[in-house]
Amino acid sequence: MGEKKKTTIVLFSGDYDKSMAAYIIANGAAAYDHEVTIFHTFWGLNALRKDEQIDVKKGFMEKMFGKMMPRGAEKMGLSRMNFAGFGPKMIKDVMKKHNAMSLPQLIEMAQEQEVKLVACTMTMDLLGLQQEELLENIEYAGVAAYLADAEDGNVNLFI
């Protein structure tokens, strides 16, 4: 299947709304039979975090980062109108009304559709995130692996 088209997305943002956009495009592209990669870096890594606390050895700074960042997709804030956490509650209500899928559901759907989810190992180190804290069945890589996917890609986004 050498002629399959490719979609590659860099998810840099840790916002609920922006991550939703990334995952909707990824799911759409998978339905277009593209080979889809989402490369999660910096705050975007939080979308891959498990929602429970995982016991791992960490230094002080890493612990602080871990506490301050959202633990998993469900806990992310909005890029606009977050209102100290009230914004996400409102939007999730509206989403239910319109039958839109939640971010955790979109991530699950992406995995079902074999979207390749990649965690950037360099920024994992910076933010003190360890493999045990992230979802199962994801890949770990750096810029070169991303570029290998992106250089013959047809759609390439930075979100």
Partner 1 sequence: MIVDKVLDAKGLACPMPIVKTKKAINELESGQVLEVHSTDKGAKNDLTAWAKSSGHELLKHEEENNVLKFWLKKG
Which residues sit at the interface with partner 1, rule CB under 8 A?
Answer: 24, 27-28, 30-33, 98-101, 109, 113
**Of the two residues 89 and 98, which places its CB atom closer to partner 1 in the complex?**
98
Using alpha carbons, select from 47, 43, 30 the residue that is nearest to residue 155. 30
**Of the two residues 30 and 76, which places its CB atom closer to partner 1 in the complex?**
30
Phi–psi pair at 56, nearest 5 degrees: -135, 155
CB 13 within 8 A of CB 40: no
Q: How far is the CB of 28 from partner 1 (least distance, A)?
A: 4
**Of the two residues 100 and 145, which places its CB atom closer to partner 1 in the complex?**
100
**Of the two residues 67 and 98, which places its CB atom closer to partner 1 in the complex?**
98
Q: How far is the CB of 103 from partner 1 (least distance, A)?
A: 13
What residue ranges in the chain does DSSP mark as E strands? 6-11, 35-40, 116-120, 139-141, 155-158
CB 88 within 8 A of CB 78: yes
Q: How far is the CB of 31 from partner 1 (least distance, A)?
A: 4
